[in-house]
Structure 1
Amino acid sequence: MQQTAVYGVDDVSYQSAGGIEGLRRLVADFYRLMDELPEARALRQLHGESLTLASDKLACFLSGWLGGPKLFSEQYGAIAIPSFHAQWPIDEALSQSWLNCMAQAITLQPYDPAFADYLLRQLRMPAQRIVQASRNRHGIAGQ
């Protein structure tokens, strides 16, 4: 009897994303879209001119977050995603812009549709936490 892999268990999600090379492709498409889409302009302005470091950090973070090697902590140390991002005033609109770029980047990957849906659902959770942490720090009113 063959068992079905379950996303979120062991390294199933990491492997479904194509390992670190698959994550690097996802992140490259994500930041390219952020550069190109007019509706992502405000989000892009929060980043430096070069996206090289941000790209590496996001791919490394996603590696560990999806059950693969903990590359972020190995290379950059520990991070608490919501509190780190709270240094910027991130509201619902910026969060949605980030999610929209990621959703489009996900559709460009050769992911199984069930994994693509799972990944985007999972990414909504930290995006919501980042908005809340930013509200708490900057006094941004809830929407």
Structure 2
Amino acid sequence: MAAAPEEPRVTAFERLGGAQAIGRIVERFYDLMECDPAYAELRAMHAPDLAPMRKSLAGFLTGWSGGPRDWFDANPGKCMMSMHSGFPIGAQTATQWAEAMQRAIADAELQDAEVAALLSERLDMIARSMGQTGKTAEGPAAA
């Protein structure tokens, strides 16, 4: 007896709503960073022109969530932690990043609330761990 064909795997990327959904998250995230004074310290760490960062983050989130892996192909061996290793990320800026991303995900009207919550949770963990292991302007961050 032949085995039943496997159901195609649906990725988080697809469950969230694909490239358009990732685009909404990224645009909202950087718009918050640019316009909301709560994220001023985080904004100050970035270049004046956020267009390259918007493109890079969209590419990263697309591949990381199961979509096309163009960003990873263009950046072999890189991850979010390694890409930010040279930045003076302290607990405060990590918290600002995490909170802006949580707001962006909540505001993006994503197709699947369960996957959106998981995405928010994982990105929050990554951001906050950078604040604990990164270096602040004054020296190593407190763990």
1:113 match: 113
- The gaps in structure 1 that reach 5 residues or longer are 1-9
1:1-143 alignment to 2 at 5 Å? 10-111=9-110, 112-135=112-135, 139-142=139-142
- Kindly tell me: are residues 133 and 142 of structure 1, through their superposed partners in 2, closer, same or farther at Cα, counting changes over 3 Å? closer
**Per the alignment, in what secondary structure is the counterpart of residue 104 of structure 1?**
helix
Identity of paired residues, percent?
A: 29
2:5 match: none
1:97-125 deviation digits (Å, cap 9, x = unpaired): 00111111111112233222111111123
Q: TM-score, normalised by structure 2?
A: 0.81
- Kindly tell me: are residues 122 and 97 of structure 1, through their superposed partners in 2, closer, same or farther at Cα, counting changes over 3 Å? same
Instruction: Give the aligned residue type for 1:104.
Output: R
- Does the 8 A contact of 1:83 with 1:133 survive in 2? no
- Kindly tell me: are residues 80 and 118 of structure 1, through their superposed partners in 2, closer, same or farther at Cα, counting changes over 3 Å? closer
Worse-superposed segment, 100-109 or 52-61? 100-109
Distance 1:75 1:24 in 2: 19
Task: Look at both structures and tell me which one has the larger radius of gyration over its CA atoms.
Answer: 2
- Does the 8 A contact of 2:92 with 2:131 survive in 1? no
Instruction: Give the aligned residue type for 1:66.
Output: S
- Kindly tell me: are residues 141 and 30 of structure 1, through their superposed partners in 2, closer, same or farther at Cα, counting changes over 3 Å? closer
How far off is 1:28 after superposition? Answer: 0.4
1:37-92 deviation digits (Å, cap 9, x = unpaired): 11100100111111110000000000111111112123444423213212111011
How far off is 1:132 after superposition? Answer: 4.0
**Per the alignment, in what secondary structure is the counterpart of residue 140 of structure 2?**
coil
How far off is 1:11 after superposition? Answer: 4.6
- The gaps in structure 2 that reach 5 residues or longer are 1-8
- Does the 8 A contact of 1:60 with 1:72 survive in 2? yes
Moved over 6 A (4+): none
